Amino acid sequence: MKWLFLGWGLFVAILWVVALQGVPPAVKDGRLVLYWSTDPNPARAEQLKPFADANPDLLVLVEPVTIDKTIVQSSTGVGPDIIEIYSTDQMVTYIEAGVLLDLTPYATKMGFGPETTYPRLVGNLMYEGRQYRYPANAASQVLMYNKRLFAEAGVPEPEDGMLWEDFIERVKPLTIKRDDGRAYRQFALVMGKGFVRDLHLQFGARFFADNGTRCVLDSPESIAAMEFYRSLMVDHELLPTPAAAEALSAAGGWGFGEIRWFAAEKSACIWGSRWMMVIFRQYPELREHVGVALLPRMPDGVPASYSGTRGPCINARSPHRDEALRFLQYLASDEYAEVIAMSSDGLPPQASYSDDPARLLNPAFPWEDFQEKFVESMRVAEPVEVSPFVSSIIVDRIWTDALDNVQNGLKSPEEAMKEAARRINDRIQREIAERPDLRERYEAARAGR
């Protein structure tokens, strides 16, 4: 036991030394530096300019997002001041690690409370009734399509919220095989793995029941959703199977992922969000031909999708808490909203700005006259589900395993979903067995308290 404690002490010391080696300067050019851990999108400079103009005493510098490193640094007091988080799963991981500042005491008073953003997004900002981040943008999914490909095929363009059966029959001609008949040169639709959950939602399925105490991916609704997803690949050939995608990759065009594939006109439609327009604007031959419609839907359903955000949080150990709070306050301003609106990097954070979709149209891109579709899709979106009794990272990993098994035909949708539910429920039981505090909360949740 003595050597165990000595070893642990050495490990912590090493982490401390590594973290200290990355300590950045606190002042530069006479200004206090705030470090913002985010992606190195060139648009960040434009997004920061109004904040810099209004806060000449502060300098915000961007540093790359590295989850493990950020958690270690933040735990030792030398992490970034502002931590950008891209999913509810990541947010919960940071909260459980004790990294994030609870914003609840400050948010409403400073104008960036949950009441200022979209009601359908709020659940992504909260955990157990407390606010931990504020959106830098907002997103839900729509159907984007290439008007030219539809016109050339003589196929009518998609309509808002078409029934799935009608949509399938309409776009089938837009999946086109190569001349040799052995592979495909174009698919009717592409959908990133992260958006398959939207289909799950449209079938009325859920990840958890009973206040998060039980995974229900083995429900009839979940199984039906995954069976439908597989049918889009195998029976209807609207989506590429992994094998079909690999064959197309060998011929060129797939390597950049679904977004680049759509941009290169290898697919007629893409399941996506407003922020994708940032990329499509880079393709002059495409950008004037993009159309947008609300997603297809199930009978008696809505064109639903999960909502999401690129949402900054504050490091609980930041020595510059007050200054970092000013940054979140800036994200709720009209000045910031206009930058996001014109760049098309998602919807602006505050819902009131999007009440008039005309404010979202950049005059430099007048053909993007479909801004109301993004606002309408947010009205039927839902926040991502999480459970306090199992790590969201583990849930995502198990879900991805199930998805891979279905995509590659290794398991039937029923087998994959039942296995996923069993694995997640096993993890829940393991967690509450190892943590008495969690067991108490679990029993209270089961009792409805």
Asked if residue 409 belongs to a domain, the reply is: no
Asked if residue 96 belongs to a domain, the reply is: yes
Separation of alpha carbons 215 and 203, rounded Å: 16
Question: How many other CB atoms are there within 10 angstroms of residue 89's CB atom?
Answer: 17
Residue reference for tokens 């039980």: 214
> The domain spanning residue 348 has which CATH number?
3.40.190.10
Asked if residue 39 belongs to a domain, the reply is: yes
Name every residue whose Cβ is closer than 8 Å to that of residue 129 and which is 6 or more positions away in sequence.
Answer: none
Whole-model pTM over 0.75: yes
Asked if residue 227 belongs to a domain, the reply is: no
Separation in Å, CA 231 to CA 234, 236, 241 = 5, 6, 10
Separation in Å, CA 445 to CA 96, 214, 449 = 19, 11, 6
Asked if residue 410 belongs to a domain, the reply is: no
Longest dimension (CA), the chain: 77
Question: How many other CB atoms are there within 10 angstroms of residue 285's CB atom?
Answer: 10
Asked if residue 384 belongs to a domain, the reply is: no
Using DSSP, state whether 41 is helix, strand or coil: coil
- Of 442, 398, 403, 445, the C-alpha closest to 423 is 398
Q: DSSP labels for 192-211?
A: -GGGHHHHHHHTT--SEETT
Asked if residue 70 belongs to a domain, the reply is: yes
Burial 357-377 (b: 16+ CB within 10 A, else e): beebbeeebeebebbebbbbb
Asked if residue 24 belongs to a domain, the reply is: yes
Q: What is the pLDDT along the chain (449 residues), one digit of tens a residue?
A: 334 333 434 444 444 444 444 555 577 777 899 999 988 777 888 899 999 999 999 999 988 766 666 776 776 667 899 999 988 888 988 898 899 999 999 999 999 999 999 999 999 999 989 999 999 999 999 999 999 999 999 999 999 999 999 999 999 999 999 888 778 989 999 999 889 999 999 999 999 998 999 999 999 999 999 999 999 999 999 999 988 877 655 444 333 478 888 998 999 999 999 999 999 999 999 989 999 999 999 999 999 999 999 999 999 999 999 999 999 999 999 999 999 999 999 999 999 999 999 999 999 999 999 999 999 999 999 998 989 899 888 999 999 999 999 999 999 999 999 999 999 999 999 999 999 989 999 999 998 76
Helix or strand (DSSP H, E) at 417: helix 413-434
Domain count, the chain: 1
Domain with 95, as residue range(s), is 19-138+308-379
